[in-house]
């Protein structure tokens, strides 16, 4: 079950980006570490993530939240079975997500993720 699809923006100037999305577009800050996460006050699933320069190489174009860590594992296994290029390994990140990056058949890098259960 896909919970949300999250757009990524470039993060050359995080302060200016934060000001733009908050002051011009009316978004709210959802998180600032490890990435700047902004969301719609009316629909928290409408989000933009802005990683700092150099955090993710290659940087994904967007993220797909598949709902559960087991779904991340299943998508990873299917990507490997199909011979797709995984460009960031399956990882449990310290900020509470399980994810991997994969290139789609046209070369677009996609972050496939789910939040880990809170401990």
Tell me the pLDDT tens digit for each residue of 75-108: 999 999 999 999 999 999 998 999 999 999 999 9
Sign of dihedral through CA atoms 89, 34, 69, 7? Answer: negative
Residue 4's nearest CA partner among 52, 45, 35 is 45
Confidence bin at 1 (pLDDT 50/70/90): confident
**pTM of the predicted protein model:** 0.88
Number of C-beta neighbours around residue 57 at 10 A: 11
Confidence bin at 57 (pLDDT 50/70/90): confident
Cα–Cα distance list, 4 to 20, 39, 81, 102 (Å)? 23, 12, 25, 17
Place of tokens 């199909």: 82
CB 84 within 8 A of CB 60: no
């Amino acid at each position: 079950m896909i919970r949300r699809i999250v757009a990524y923006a470039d993060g050359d100037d995080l302060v200016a980006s934060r000001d733009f999305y908050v002051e011009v577009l009316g978004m709210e800050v959802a998180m600032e570490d490890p990435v700047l996460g902004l969301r719609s006050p009316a629909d928290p699933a409408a989000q933009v993530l802005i990683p700092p320069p150099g955090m993710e190489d290659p940087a994904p174009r967007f993220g797909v939240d598949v709902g559960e860590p087991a779904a991340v594992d299943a998508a990873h296994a299917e990507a490997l079975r199909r011979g797709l290029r995984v460009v960031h390994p399956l990882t449990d990140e310290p900020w509470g997500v399980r994810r991997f990056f994969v290139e789609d058949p046209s070369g677009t890098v996609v972050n496939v993720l789910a939040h880990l259960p809170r401990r």
